[in-house]
Structure formats: structure tokens, C-alpha cells
Amino acid sequence: MSIASRFFQVSSYLRFLLVSVTLSALAGTANAGSYTFQPSDADLADLDHHNAYYWGISSSTLRNELLAGNVITSARLTIFNIWDWRVENDILYINLLDDTKKPSSGNVTTISNENSNDSLSNGNWFAPASRSNRYQGSTALTTWTDPIGGHSTNFNFVYDFSSTQLSLLGSYLTDPTYSYSNGTGNMFGLGFDPECHYYNQGVQLEIGTGPAHVPDEAVTLWMIGGSLVALGLLWRFRRS
């Protein structure tokens, strides 16, 4: 075989290796999905401290994607321009709920006079793991306290779900026997219990999906192996 032919073989293999590595890197982002949800009452009644609120969410498209093998890779809750109406001790409890019952209209349910005394001692209304007439599962996501109070600071509260919470959210979405079936319930929901009054300019949940993660170590070993083969071919070419 001529030197030119051998050089062509080696260069062709190296091009193949480069394309394969690129496709492997892109495989992790293929078929990724993005979903954005907003409550029917955009600011949840400005999170009035006398009440608790839960927002029910369903998506057959998202559910089917997870059942087909994709996973939830991210979930971000944002409350835009949130602030406590006055300077005081305050706390906002935020919870992830399973199987939330639908209201008569929209997707937000108000628990009226949950906190008639406006006291922190009332605790998290959603702390019970189940309230059979409202939801079938509950876990605390996070809390927020306004460190200033009394006026807007244009602060957007942003919370990214932990890996454990992402897995739990996925299980809520793919649960085949959620309690409120036949159009009377939602797959999951978010519960908000404000222990003080929080003005805000809207709530939003963003969910990202994608294929199950391929371990970086496997990709690295594949690249090392391919590189060693390429180096071997180059060494044989030079000896020729």
C-alpha cells in the first residue's frame, strides 16, 4: 500500500473518531424538552396571609415523555418581585404536592382563613403528608423570608429543585393511579402557605427534560480508547 493510501486511511479514521465523539456529546441533549406553567391566578391573590393556596398542574405530554424513558433534568420555581407588605417576622412555606384536587374553575384552590390570626405559630398548612379531600402527598420544598419588608426591592425568588425533589416530581407525574382521575384532579401541585402577606408579580414553574444521563466516565474511556487506536495507526504509518 502506498504512503498516500495509508495516510488517507489514518486521516479518514481520525475524521470518523471526531464525528463519533461529537455525536456522543450531543446525544445527552437530544430530544430535550422544556415546559413552562403558570397559575390561573397569576400572583396567587398576592399570597394573602389569611389563606393558603395550592396550584394544580397536569401535562399529558410531559407525562408521556417520562413514560417513554426521558427524565426530569431541572425544575425551577420563580416568584417575580416578591416582598412582605411590612417589616415583621415572616415566612413563606412552599410544598410539592401529589394528586391535587381540581377547583371548580382555573387551577388554583384557596384555603380560606387558614391563618386568621396572622401568626407564625400556625406553621405549614401543608405539613400533613395527606389531606384526602385536597391532596394525596406532600413534601416541603423550601421556605423564604423577606429580610427587609415594607417595600419592593424588585427581588425575584428563584428556587431550583434538588435531585431528590426532581425524582419525586417525576414519580408524581408518572403515577398510574393518581387519586383524582376522570378530569377531577391534577397530577401534581405546589402548595403555598404565607405567614404574612407577600405582594408579587406572578409565579412560574419551568421544567426541563432529557435522556437519562450517560456517565462522564464512560464517554471519557471511549475517547481515550479511540485516541490510543489512532495513535497506534499513526505510529505504524510513520514506521512504514
Residue pLDDT, tens place only, 62-71: 999 999 999 9
What is the structure's pLDDT at 24? 47
| Position 223 confidence tier, pLDDT thresholds 50, 70, 90 | low
What is the structure's pLDDT at 9? 55
| Position 232 confidence tier, pLDDT thresholds 50, 70, 90 | low
Provide the terminal-to-terminal Cα distance of the chain, rounded to the nearest Å.
10
What is the structure's pLDDT at 116? 54
For residues 87-113, give the mean pLDDT: 94
The pTM for the full model equals 0.77
Region label for 227, one of left (φ > 0), alpha (ψ between -120 and 50) or beta (otherwise) = alpha
What is the structure's pLDDT at 7? 44
